[in-house]
Amino acid sequence: MDKEEERRKIITHEDLIIYQKAFQAAITIFEISKRFPEEERYSREQRDFVRC
């Protein structure tokens, strides 16, 4: 760990690198899924809703 990383404090979950990477991945997936055909978007949402 270098000195810059040692000085960095984690105050909220948003400070975690893993959170930042996961959030960016979610945004990327959302942006890609907006290009899906309309019927595919709705079927995916319905399937995910049923699983919850």
Domain locations along the chain: 11-51
What would the two tokens of residue 12 be?
Answer: 């909220």
* Confidence (pLDDT) at 33: 87
Average pLDDT of the residues in 7-24: 91
pTM: 0.57
Give the integer Cα–Cα distance in Å for 16 and 9: 9
**Sign of the C-alpha dihedral computed for residues 14, 18, 24 and 28 taken in this order:** negative
Q: Half-sphere exposure of 17 toward its Cβ, with a 13 Å CA cutoff?
A: 3
Quick one: pLDDT band at residue 19, thresholds 50, 70, 90? very high
What would the two tokens of residue 7 be?
Answer: 């000085």
Q: Are 32 and 26 in contact (CB under 8 A)?
A: no
Cβ neighbours for 8, distance < 8 A, ≥ 6 positions apart: 15
